[in-house]
Amino acid sequence: MTVTIDNAPIRELIDAEKLQARIAEMGAELTDAYRGLDPVLVCILKGSMPFFAALGQAMTIPVRYDYLAVASYHGGTKSSGVVKFLADLSTDIVGRHVVLVEDIVDTGRTMAYLLENLKTRQPASLEVVTLLDKPSRREVDVPIGYRGFEIPDEFVIGFGLDYAQYYRNLPYIGVLEQIPEVPKPGA
Ligand code: PRP
């Protein structure tokens, strides 16, 4: 049988309960670290969206939200190394405490690019929070302030992470055991 998006075998790596428990801990740590600082949480679209939403709700201090979009994978299972800015923040971050919220730091190229870019806007501080960290793939060193889980070098999907834009809606982190065929538009 052809393996397609809806019947591809997926091995669960981090279940929904573990994810939520760890995110609650991270939210509590950030609450303590940013009390009185009126931080801006930045969601790095698209992958970070479910983590961002859960992390924000796990924080019990006033926070502001902003969004930006970058892409580096362009549909494959490996980073292309080329980072493209698709949408910028809608607010000025000069003098503000900025928390960048990522789903995964892999080669580190996306985060290094963002840090370099956002630093020039003179925020009061700039911190990196990532749900997943894959240190074995790092090509560029990036300072990670808070990490949810360190994971092995496997292609992960779910909880915001995609393969060919699918699987972002899974409530857990999984590994695709076979790369499925992607449906063509209108098929
Ligand atoms: C993924 C992920 C990070 C980046 C990490 O984004 O969300 O932004 O890749 O990879 P790196 O450390 O090798 O740069 P992607 O470009 O797939 O866009 P998406 O969030 O829209 O899926």
The per-residue pLDDT for 163 is 96
In this structure, the residues whose C-beta lies within 6 A of any atom of ligand 1 are 44-47, 71-73, 79, 102-111, 162
User: What pLDDT is attached to residue 56?
Assistant: 98
Residue 7 alpha carbon to ligand 1 centre in Å? 25
Return the pLDDT at 50: 98
Quick check: 158 and 175 in contact, CB under 8 A? no
- Ligand 1 center–CA 96 separation, angstroms: 25
| Residue that has been written with the tokens 């930045």 in this structure | 42
Residue from 45, 84, 104 to probe ligand 1 pocket by mutation (most atoms less than 8 Å from CB) = 104
- Alpha helices per DSSP H over 35-173: 49-57, 109-119
Q: How far is the CA of 86 from the centre of ligand 1 (A)?
A: 12
CA angle 34, 92, 95 (to 5 degrees): 50
Does an H or E element contain 27, and which?
Answer: helix 16-34
Q: Which two tokens stand for residue 115?
A: 């840090």
pLDDT at residue 175 in the model = 98
**pLDDT at res. 184:** 85
34-37's contacts with Cβ under 8 Å and 24+ in sequence apart are 34/59, 34/61, 34/63, 34/97, 34/99, 35/61, 36/61, 37/97, 37/124
Residues of the chain with pLDDT under 50: none
Catalytic residue numbers, as ranges: 106
Considering only CA atoms, which of 165, 128, 133 is closest in space to residue 151? 133
Please state the pTM of the whole predicted model. 0.94
